[in-house]
A and B are shown apart, each in its own frame.
Chain A
């Protein structure tokens, strides 16, 4: 269970507040107009932005001051999810041990993760030798290896084509279900939200609202969301 307790994030003139709870195992889309603060919200939860006020709790434990790598979460960014100078295996290995001390056990886990995301045998490649979709799969495989209970997706698949993107999202849903992970996913596409996320956090006008049923929200959008969705 992720709790944002009277959280307030300020960046110059910009301010965003959030005060709600996300139940464990939930899958939430994070939607809202451009510049409303969707990525900012994820960055604060991941520990890249110290909040101006309030607390972030996981299972009741305060993680507001924890270092990003010590939080019970994995995050996939829009880009730069892999180190281009390290092989796929070593990139994945970082998910198991940041010092990259990899024994046979670790290598077996890495190979299994590669199998799971459909990249069997590509461990020796460098990221540049993979397609965009394959790179996303490596990043997802690393999240799989880290097995943290919370997964934050800051539009990591935005650069992929529509078919590839829905493949990836389906894979995310499968993996999250297997691991019982809670997912927060920034999304611009109402169809993605409907397909994968039963719940949606609306970020608009300086507030991130508590999760709300996605279908309900999209069928009867409040004015800010309606203007953003258009039509």
Chain B
């Protein structure tokens, strides 16, 4: 009995911390909101926009990803695996960096408009609903491509062999093999992207706004910053929670395919098809690569020369962000490890780890602000609150990553460890950490990259003095200092990827296999 208690005391403590971190701010929101009476017509419009932009972003991402995934599946070319790996990068790319890249291409003075002007055509603007959706597709097209590609690669080679032996043409293969696969993969992909876009804040903050392009998250921010109407902010936060809950309820009925999968190279299948298909595939791959890579290229081209001109304030923000990322990673791992280890035996542990999914960055921020305000100046808490929110929001990703590995570990070695009396810290040191080194490294990379690039809750709390690098970047953008912004974006992107890469390498290195 005492042994059992000792076993679950750590995960129970972690679960209680996470529950407190999510439920206490939610409680504060519920109490302060006092129903939905504070909401205005504009808030309803924000809800409508949130839902349809998420649906449209998800649909467009899926639609565009299908030809790209199909082309990647049936063609082999130099750089293919690099391209597939790069498709994982937007997952950790700071939103604000991508936005600056997109502005460099699609913005008022971007490359695209320069071309249109030269041709004497009317120019476009990136600001507004279509800009928000463009940015969401930029982030989620790669995710959708990887998920759908994974589905394609999961069609067993034997099935394809059978199809070939029965003399199936491309149309029959499509009907009997590819459509059934897409029907099972697409709903999960759509929903995963829909969920991400529901809580979109930084994109809406930078590219959206106004009555036609305000998400609920952005409306919370505006209720705070412009009106300082805390009751309305709380009501909006409540709306956001209900939207997330509803979407999660739908998602839980679907088993979403793993988002990190794909990348395995099956032996290339003999593929017939004519020149028309080759052109189609070429266009799909080249188009996707150009869409994803030119914005990044534009930042580097514009930002690198301006790097030496960055002000000391930017470097200070840089140090702040690195410290924040380190602390948030430690906290995330300290919560994720005991919860993942307990999850196969105790459902509540997994439930606690997934709990932060019902809240968004701004919802947590609103709740924490309401709690803190009677006691301290919230601005002094900007960094601790950012840290807590980021650790909480990273937790579900890391725990999802760890649980399958923990199951394997326990199935393979629980009995052996028990028969040798390998327990407690010795077990952690000799068995658990070495065997989980890779997913822990990967998870640490994610939980460092998220706070590094996060532009969310800090916007509520900061008085403009306490700055993370993304916030400093946002301020540069607001001041139209685009060269400086591009340089800072370069820096932020490099640091984020370097942090992720370093954690992932440490994990690989620590894996004794």
Contact = CB atoms under 8 A, between A and B. Distances in A.
Interface of A: 46-48, 67-70, 74-75, 77, 80-86, 90, 94-95, 98-100, 126
Contacts of A81: 416
Interface string B480-513: 0000000000000000000000000000000111
A68 B423 CA distance: 11
A68 B415 CA distance: 8
A69 B513 contact: no
B418 A94 contact: no
21 contacts: A47-B418, A67-B421, A69-B421, A69-B422, A70-B421, A75-B419, A80-B412, A80-B413, A80-B415, A83-B413, A83-B431, A85-B435, A85-B513, A86-B430, A90-B430, A94-B420, A94-B422, A95-B420, A98-B420, A98-B422, A98-B427
B347 interface: no
B435 A48 contact: no
Nearest to A93: B430
A83 B419 contact: no
B167 to A, nearest CB: 43
A100 B427 CA distance: 10
B253 interface: no
B423 A69 contact: yes
Contact of B418 (A48, A80, A84, A95): A48
Contact of A77 (B415, B435, B513): B415
Interface in B402-460: 412-413, 415-416, 418-423, 426-427, 430-431, 434-435
A165 B427 CA distance: 32
B419 A74 contact: yes
Given A83-B413, A85-B435, A69 B430 contact: no
B215 to A, nearest CB: 47
B446 to A, nearest CB: 24
Nearest to B425: A99
Given A67-B3, A83-B413, A84-B513, A98 B419 contact: no
A80 B426 CA distance: 19
A32 B232 CA distance: 73
B442 to A, nearest CB: 18
B421 to A, nearest CB: 3
B416 A98 contact: no
B418 A68 contact: yes
A147 to B, nearest CB: 13
Contacts of A85: 434-435, 511-513
Contact of B416 (A47, A70, A83, A126): A83
Nearest to A70: B421
B415 A48 contact: yes
A90 B431 CA distance: 12
Nearest to B511: A85
Contacts of A77: 415-416
A136 B477 CA distance: 66
Nearest to A73: B419
Interface of B: 3, 412-413, 415-416, 418-423, 426-427, 430-431, 434-435, 511-513
B412 to A, nearest CB: 5
Contacts of A84: 513
Contacts of B435: 85
Contact of A98 (B412, B415, B423, B434): B423
Nearest to A139: B416
B426 A100 contact: yes
B240 to A, nearest CB: 44
Nearest to A99: B426
B361 to A, nearest CB: 38
A70 B423 CA distance: 12
Contacts of A74: 419
Contacts of B430: 83, 86, 90, 94, 100
B480 to A, nearest CB: 55
Contacts of A48: 415, 418
A70 B421 CA distance: 7
A84 B422 CA distance: 15
Contacts of A86: 430, 434, 512
A70 B420 CA distance: 8
B420 A69 contact: yes
Looking at A77, A83, A90, A94, the one whose CB has the most chain B CB atoms below 10 A away is A83
A126 B415 CA distance: 20
B420 to A, nearest CB: 5
A98 B413 contact: no
Contacts of B416: 77, 80-83
Contact of A46 (B419, B423, B511): B419
Given A84-B513, A90-B430, A94-B430, 15 more contacts: A47-B418, A48-B418, A67-B3, A68-B415, A68-B419, A69-B418, A74-B419, A80-B412, A80-B416, A85-B434, A85-B435, A86-B430, A98-B421, A100-B426, A100-B430
Contacts of A82: 416
A95 to B, nearest CB: 7
B508 to A, nearest CB: 13
Contacts of B431: 83
A5 to B, nearest CB: 22
Across chains A and B, which 8 residue pairs bring their CB atoms closest together, nearest first?
A69-B421, A85-B512, A68-B418, A99-B426, A98-B422, A98-B421, A85-B434, A68-B419
A81 B413 CA distance: 8
Contacts of A47: 418
A85 B436 CA distance: 11
A131 B511 CA distance: 22
A184 to B, nearest CB: 14
A5 B415 CA distance: 24
A74 to B, nearest CB: 7
